[in-house]
């Protein structure tokens, strides 16, 4: 029974597309079969109509090519000045993207959608400029010729013999909101050409004239019409999907195109794209990377990359998998992904191997089961000639290098049978011939194990020949007297070749395993280190170290600040750090979540490759990579490895960010709790003296007649005392608030110990008047490093507490003792001591010694001491002295030597 519900995947895709497009501008393409059909004219006419309706229209780039009627249409519409660019001495003019974004009209006209921008522009292609305009919510009108469409590029090339360099990914065309076909019958176009109304680049000359032959024009017109019709068809289907009209839903087709390293890859991908468009299928380009392919010359690996990128540009997915057998991997992928059709190239090579094991294509067909397999023929050579020549000239280098590496193997393939022959000569008198055959086979096995298939095959053939020549009568002749030996030779050769194939396969698998292991261990090393840390700084350091080592590059991790601007890393850098990476590019990468710079489509002029560090769709940073050898980075397996590394780094950074957030949240919660306790304590501590002051002063202001002079004085003194107490509380609250807000910085300098002690005592002299204060300090002046203002405050708070909680007449001793790497301060008294169990509690915030005791004070003093000592990296604690009294101690760690002083002259 046919499923009448819309395919959820397709619906989801449409919803996402519509969401993405809701804030975007609309793109309208004036589409034509060739130059001269009047696209620019039609576009300008439409723009004038919009302007007449009152729309804000601006001309970005409009090529009138000196045609007066077109130029007349452009009159009276605001024109954006072009941007002048200097490139290699020549002055070029380009569309000014930034000016257009800044001007932000409602509609902008930008001619020639497929135009390639001059080097030094932000994007290599104009359609990318237009994409940014659309992203900024600006509507765009543009023009396009059918020959520039990427998927039709080769077809047009074959029809006309001219292949254009400037191509446009089909997805841009397909995503356009409106496509208007500007059509002109070929005869009229040729007529216009003869009237000189068609612009031809001057250098084009004859080639262009050939292009405008009627046959070509008819073919191009057909392509343009058909492409437009396909689009209309797709729109129609969209509409029906939306309304759920379709009666029957075919099972969605999934198409897989298997590409190899050969030249035919691009052709295959284009063919697959056309097929997929016809079937309305999702499609994937798959490259199976076998170990021999890993050793391909760089030019060919580049070509694979280009092929895969082309697939992405044409709207497909590209996947690279590693494996030993192409056919098995393709079939495995096809079954896992529910592929319904596999597109492969027709096998090119003929030969014994093909005859023996069959081509990859044959094996795919054999194993395809219910999956359709389409074979695509090779493309005509003419159109790709130019590209082919370049590729081949590079090939030469690559192949030569490869041969250089191989010849020692073949030498060994000759030497080993020769050596075995010598051994055989020595054995001949005492051993049967069959044993000599065994020794030859042993030699072949050895060559196969260490040197691979080629040398071992050579070795097998030579072994048979040598055996015949030296050991089979008649001796020293290849002739054979006993025909029975022919069977021996055949078996010996077959066994030798089989062994060599098997041994070579084992070697190959060992290499694949080794290679995978190397990748895995590089990744594992980094993951392990990343897992062990959650500080952003060390994650960045680990990432830079590992990525730079594995990819032989200078590396930087750029993270955004609070405002979302990408910044250079703060703090230390390691030797592999990349300094001075272009923040502009990095910002673009961060904002768009797409790679840029070298090896990409965006800002390809930069030497540096920028990849977003993204978790899900959101970029959290950018990895900048300046490879020592750019080609190495962009081979598929390195790319894949880099992606995995980037993923790991992004996850680690994300984890660290979340941890930081959690810490902040916890801190905020704690701060909140402290703030509440503080408010409660303050309101109590301030209200009590305030009550006394208000009461006493109101009595003084309106005194009863009976109030005596001494009573009056006593009230005034009470007011003064309570006011002083309030002032103290306020001062301490402010100090603590400052310390907790981090506004107080430890300003550690070298101070004589006695100075800070003397300062504290003298500032508290009034309060200490009733006590006997003694000091115990080193006889010599000792310098120590601390913040004198803060430490004086600690001493004052401790002294004040001692005075407050001991009866008058008690002794208070301040002792300072320098130790090896710390200074210990002690404030001791011989008073009643701390209540047992209170030694730790006293340092908790707002804890008061005896809640209802007379002296008062918010218990803030010790909290302040504790904060200050902690800020110095020291410790503070309290003890009771066995002989009686309390003792407060704190230590300040010391390091380094006091600064030197010039001797006095």
Partner 1 sequence: MSSSRPVVLVIEDEPQIRRFLHTSLDAEGFDVEEAGSGKDGLVMAANCRPEVVILDLGLPDLDGVEVIRRLREWCAVPVIVLSARAQEKDKVAALDAGADDYVVKPFGIGELLARLRVALRREAHVGEPGGTSVFEAGDLKLDLAARRVTRSGFEVHLTPTEYRLLAELVKHAGKVLTQRHLLREVWGPGYVERPHYLRVHMANLRQKLEDDPARPRLLRTETGVGYRLATE
Q: Is 895 in the site for partner 1 (CB under 8 A)?
A: no
| Closer Cβ to partner 1, 273 or 751, answer by number | 751
Structure-block tokens of residue 507: 């070697």
Give the number of other Cβ atoms within 10 Å of residue 173's Cβ. 23
Specify the stretch interacting with partner 1 by CB under 8 A; choose among 52-60, 339-347, 754-762, 823-831. 754-762
| Closer Cβ to partner 1, 248 or 900, answer by number | 900
Nearest approach, Cβ of residue 621 and partner 1 (Å): 39
Nearest approach, Cβ of residue 554 and partner 1 (Å): 39
Q: Is the CB of residue 472 less than 8 Å from the CB of residue 463?
A: no
| Closer Cβ to partner 1, 9 or 749, answer by number | 749
Give the number of other Cβ atoms within 10 Å of residue 460's Cβ. 28
Q: Is the CB of residue 543 less than 8 Å from the CB of residue 623?
A: yes
Q: In b/e form, how buried is each residue of 312-341, taking b as 16+ CB within 10 angstroms?
A: ebbbbebbbebbeebbebbbebbeeeebbb
| Closer Cβ to partner 1, 629 or 775, answer by number | 775
| Closer Cβ to partner 1, 562 or 701, answer by number | 701
| Closer Cβ to partner 1, 388 or 898, answer by number | 898
Nearest approach, Cβ of residue 746 and partner 1 (Å): 13
Q: Is the CB of residue 341 less than 8 Å from the CB of residue 271?
A: no
Among 218, 354, 466, 788, binds partner 1 (CB under 8 A): 788
| Closer Cβ to partner 1, 399 or 723, answer by number | 723
C-alpha to C-alpha distance for 492 and 471, rounded to whole angstroms: 14
Nearest approach, Cβ of residue 792 and partner 1 (Å): 5
Specify the stretch interacting with partner 1 by CB under 8 A; choose among 85-93, 305-313, 748-756, 881-889. 748-756
Specify the stretch interacting with partner 1 by CB under 8 A; choose among 100-108, 576-584, 660-668, 894-902. 894-902
| Closer Cβ to partner 1, 432 or 734, answer by number | 734
| Closer Cβ to partner 1, 503 or 773, answer by number | 773
Specify the stretch interacting with partner 1 by CB under 8 A; choose among 8-16, 330-338, 495-503, 756-764. 756-764
Nearest approach, Cβ of residue 711 and partner 1 (Å): 21
Nearest approach, Cβ of residue 859 and partner 1 (Å): 21
Specify the stretch interacting with partner 1 by CB under 8 A; choose among 474-482, 636-644, 750-758, 851-859. 750-758
CA 46, 52, 58, 62 torsion-angle sign: positive
Q: Is the CB of residue 30 less than 8 Å from the CB of residue 180?
A: yes
Q: Is 775 in the site for partner 1 (CB under 8 A)?
A: yes
DSSP type of residue 168: B
What character string, x for contact with partner 1 (CB under 8 A) and - otherwise, covers 100-139?
Answer: ----------------------------------------
Structure-block tokens of residue 126: 């104009």
Which residues make beta-bridge pairs with 818?
823
C-alpha to C-alpha distance for 671 and 525, rounded to whole angstroms: 39
| Closer Cβ to partner 1, 401 or 724, answer by number | 724
Among 750, 769, 840, 853, binds partner 1 (CB under 8 A): 750
C-alpha to C-alpha distance for 449 and 426, rounded to whole angstroms: 25
CA distances from residue 828 to 784, 799, 814, 869 in whole angstroms, order as listed: 21, 9, 7, 18
Structure-block tokens of residue 189: 């176009």
Q: Is 731 in the site for partner 1 (CB under 8 A)?
A: yes
| Closer Cβ to partner 1, 361 or 748, answer by number | 748
Helices (H), 741-882: 753-763, 788-805, 838-841, 860-871
Among 593, 630, 758, 893, binds partner 1 (CB under 8 A): 758
Give the number of other Cβ atoms within 10 Å of residue 405's Cβ. 9
Backbone angles phi, psi at 758, to 5 degrees: -60, -40
Among 157, 315, 452, 759, binds partner 1 (CB under 8 A): 759
Q: Is the CB of residue 136 less than 8 Å from the CB of residue 25?
A: yes
Q: Is 241 in the site for partner 1 (CB under 8 A)?
A: no
| Closer Cβ to partner 1, 206 or 779, answer by number | 779
Q: Is 898 in the site for partner 1 (CB under 8 A)?
A: yes
Among 792, 800, 829, 830, binds partner 1 (CB under 8 A): 792
| Closer Cβ to partner 1, 471 or 825, answer by number | 825
> What single string gives the DSSP state of each residue in 643-679?
HHHHHHHHHHHHHHHHHHHHHHHHHHHHHHHHHHHHH
Q: In b/e form, how buried is each residue of 3-35, taking b as 16+ CB within 10 angstroms?
A: eeebeeebeeeeeeeeeeeeebbebbbbbbbbb
Number of residues that bind partner 1 (CB under 8 A): 32
C-alpha to C-alpha distance for 246 and 244, rounded to whole angstroms: 6
Please list every residue from 670 through 729 that binds partner 1, using CB under 8 A. 720, 723-724, 727
Please list every residue from 798 through 857 that binds partner 1, using CB under 8 A. 814
Q: Is 871 in the site for partner 1 (CB under 8 A)?
A: no
Among 209, 242, 672, 749, binds partner 1 (CB under 8 A): 749
Nearest approach, Cβ of residue 631 and partner 1 (Å): 55
Q: CA-CA-CA-CA torsion for 473, 476, 480, 482, nearest 10 degrees? A: 0
Specify the stretch interacting with partner 1 by CB under 8 A; choose among 335-343, 644-652, 760-768, 865-873. 760-768
Structure-block tokens of residue 374: 């389409």
Nearest approach, Cβ of residue 901 and partner 1 (Å): 6
Helices (H), 244-359: 265-279, 291-294, 298-313, 326-336, 352-357
Q: Is 756 in the site for partner 1 (CB under 8 A)?
A: yes
Among 89, 429, 571, 899, binds partner 1 (CB under 8 A): 899
* 3-state SS track over 581-631: CCHHHHHHHHHHCCCEECCCCCCCCCCCEEEEEEECCEEEEEEEEEECCHH
- Give the residue among 518, 526, 524, 468 at the shortest CA–CA distance from 492: 468
| Closer Cβ to partner 1, 168 or 791, answer by number | 791
| Closer Cβ to partner 1, 344 or 814, answer by number | 814
| Closer Cβ to partner 1, 514 or 778, answer by number | 778
Q: Which residues contact 55 (CB under 8 A, 6 or more apart)?
A: 106, 107
Nearest approach, Cβ of residue 695 and partner 1 (Å): 19
Nearest approach, Cβ of residue 645 and partner 1 (Å): 48
Nearest approach, Cβ of residue 726 and partner 1 (Å): 9
Which residues make beta-bridge pairs with 521?
none
Q: Is residue 70 left, alpha or beta, with left meaning phi > 0 and alpha meaning psi from -120 to 50?
A: alpha
Q: Which residues contact 114 (CB under 8 A, 6 or more apart)?
A: 125, 126, 127, 144, 145, 148, 164, 166, 167, 168
Among 125, 609, 751, 845, binds partner 1 (CB under 8 A): 751
Among 575, 708, 762, 895, binds partner 1 (CB under 8 A): 762
- Give the residue among 264, 260, 252, 259 at the shortest CA–CA distance from 341: 252
| Closer Cβ to partner 1, 226 or 724, answer by number | 724
| Closer Cβ to partner 1, 584 or 770, answer by number | 770
Nearest approach, Cβ of residue 793 and partner 1 (Å): 9
Specify the stretch interacting with partner 1 by CB under 8 A; choose among 117-125, 204-212, 547-555, 787-795. 787-795
Q: What residue ranges bind partner 1 (CB under 8 A)?
A: 720, 723-724, 727, 731, 749-752, 754-759, 761-763, 773, 775, 777, 781, 783, 788-789, 792, 814, 898-899, 901, 904-905
């Amino acid at each position: 029974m046919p499923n009448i519900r819309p395919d959820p995947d397709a619906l989801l895709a449409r919803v996402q597309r519509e969401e993405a497009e809701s804030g975007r501008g609309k793109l309208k393409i004036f589409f034509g079969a060739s130059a001269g059909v009047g696209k620019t004219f039609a576009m300008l006419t439409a723009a004038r109509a919009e302007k007449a309706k009152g729309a804000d229209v601006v001309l970005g780039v409009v090529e009138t090519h000196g045609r007066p009627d077109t130029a007349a249409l452009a009159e009276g519409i605001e024109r954006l000045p072009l941007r002048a660019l200097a490139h290699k001495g020549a002055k070029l003019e380009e569309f000014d993207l930034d000016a257009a974004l800044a001007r932000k009209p409602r509609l902008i006209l930008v001619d020639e959608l497929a135009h390639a921008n001059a080097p030094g522009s932000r994007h290599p292609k104009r359609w990318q400029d237009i994409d940014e305009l659309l992203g900024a919510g600006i509507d765009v009108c543009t023009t396009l010729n059918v020959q520039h469409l990427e998927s039709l590029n080769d077809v047009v090339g074959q029809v006309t013999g001219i292949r254009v360099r400037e191509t446009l990914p089909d997805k841009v065309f397909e995503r356009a909101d409106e496509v208007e076909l500007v059509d002109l019958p070929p005869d009229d176009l040729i007529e216009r050409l003869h009237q000189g109304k068609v612009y031809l680049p001057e250098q084009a000359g004859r080639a262009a004239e050939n292009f405008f032959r009627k046959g070509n024009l008819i073919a191009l017109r057909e392509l343009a019409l058909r492409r437009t019709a396909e689009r209309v068809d797709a729109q129609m289907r969209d509409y029906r999907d939306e309304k759920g009209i379709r009666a029957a839903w075919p099972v969605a087709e999934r198409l897989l195109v298997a590409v190899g390293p050969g030249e035919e890859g691009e052709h295959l991908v284009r063919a697959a794209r056309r097929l997929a468009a016809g079937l309305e299928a999702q499609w994937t380009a798959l490259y199976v990377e076998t170990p021999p392919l890993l050793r391909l010359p760089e030019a060919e690996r580049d070509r694979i990359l280009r092929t895969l990128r082309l697939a992405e540009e044409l709207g497909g997915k590209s996947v690279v998998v590693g494996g030993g057998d192409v056919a098995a991997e393709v079939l495995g992928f096809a079954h896992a992904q529910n592929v319904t059709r596999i597109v492969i190239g027709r096998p090119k090579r003929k030969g014994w191997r093909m005859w023996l094991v069959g081509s990859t294509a044959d094996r795919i067909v054999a194993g395809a089961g219910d999956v359709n397999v389409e074979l695509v023929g090779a493309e005509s050579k003419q159109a790709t000639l130019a590209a082919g020549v370049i590729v081949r000239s590079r090939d030469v280098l690559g192949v030569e290098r490869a041969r250089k590496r191989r010849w020692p193997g073949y030498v060994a393939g000759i030497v080993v049978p020769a050596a075995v022959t010598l051994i055989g000569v020595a054995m001949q008198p005492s051993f049967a011939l069959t044993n000599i055959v065994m020794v030859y086979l042993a030699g072949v096995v050895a060559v196969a194990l260490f040197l691979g298939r080629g040398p071992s095959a050579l070795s097998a053939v030579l072994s048979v020949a040598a055996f015949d020549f030296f050991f089979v009568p008649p001796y020293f002749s290849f002739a054979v007297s006993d025909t029975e030996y022919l069977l021996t030779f055949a078996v010996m050769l077959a066994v030798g070749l089989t062994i060599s194939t098997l041994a070579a396969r084992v070697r190959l698998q060992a290499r694949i395993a080794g290679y995978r292991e190397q990748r895995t261990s590089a990744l594992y090393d980094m993951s392990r280190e990343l897992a062990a840390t959650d500080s952003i700084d060390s994650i960045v350091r680990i990432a830079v170290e590992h990525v730079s080592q594995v990819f032989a590059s200078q590396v930087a991790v750029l993270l955004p600040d609070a405002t979302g601007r990408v910044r250079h890393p703060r703090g230390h850098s390691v030797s592999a750090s990349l300094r001075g990476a272009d923040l502009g590019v990095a910002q673009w990468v961060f904002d768009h979540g797409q790679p840029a710079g070298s090896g990409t489509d965006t800002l390809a002029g930069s030497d540096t490759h920028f990849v977003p560090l993204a978790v899900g769709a959101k970029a959290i940073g950018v990895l900048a990579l300046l490879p020592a050898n750019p080609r190495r980075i962009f081979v598929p397996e390195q790319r894949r490895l880099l992606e995995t590394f980037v993923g790991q780094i992004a996850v680690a950074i994300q984890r660290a960010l979340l941890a930081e957030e959690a810490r902040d949240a916890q801190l905020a919660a704690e701060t909140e709790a402290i703030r509440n306790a503080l408010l409660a304590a303050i309101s109590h501590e301030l209200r009590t003296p305030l009550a006394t002051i208000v009461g006493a002063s109101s009595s003084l202001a309106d005194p009863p007649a009976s109030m005596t002079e001494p009573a009056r004085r006593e009230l005034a003194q009470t007011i003064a005392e309570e006011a002083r107490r309030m002032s103290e509380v306020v001062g301490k609250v402010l100090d603590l608030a400052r310390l907790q807000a981090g506004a107080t910085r430890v300003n550690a300098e070298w101070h004589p110990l006695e100075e800070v002690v003397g300062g504290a005592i003298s500032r508290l002299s009034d309060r200490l008047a009733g006590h006997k204060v003694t000091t115990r300090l080193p006889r010599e002046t000792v310098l120590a490093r601390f913040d004198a203002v803060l430490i004086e405050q600690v001493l004052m708070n401790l002294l004040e507490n001692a005075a407050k909680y001991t009866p008058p007449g008690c002794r208070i001793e301040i002792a300072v003792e320098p130790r090896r790497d710390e200074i210990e301060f002690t404030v001791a008294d011989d008073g009643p001591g701390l209540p047992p169990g209170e030694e730790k509690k006293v340092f908790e915030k707002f804890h008061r010694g005896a809640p209802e005791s007379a002296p008062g004070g918010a218990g803030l003093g010790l909290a302040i001491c504790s904060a200050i000592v902690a800020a110095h990296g020291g410790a503070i604690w309290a003890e009771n002295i066995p002989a009686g009294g309390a003792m407060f101690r704190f230590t300040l760690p010391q390091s380094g030597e006091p600064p030197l002083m010039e001797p006095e002259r």
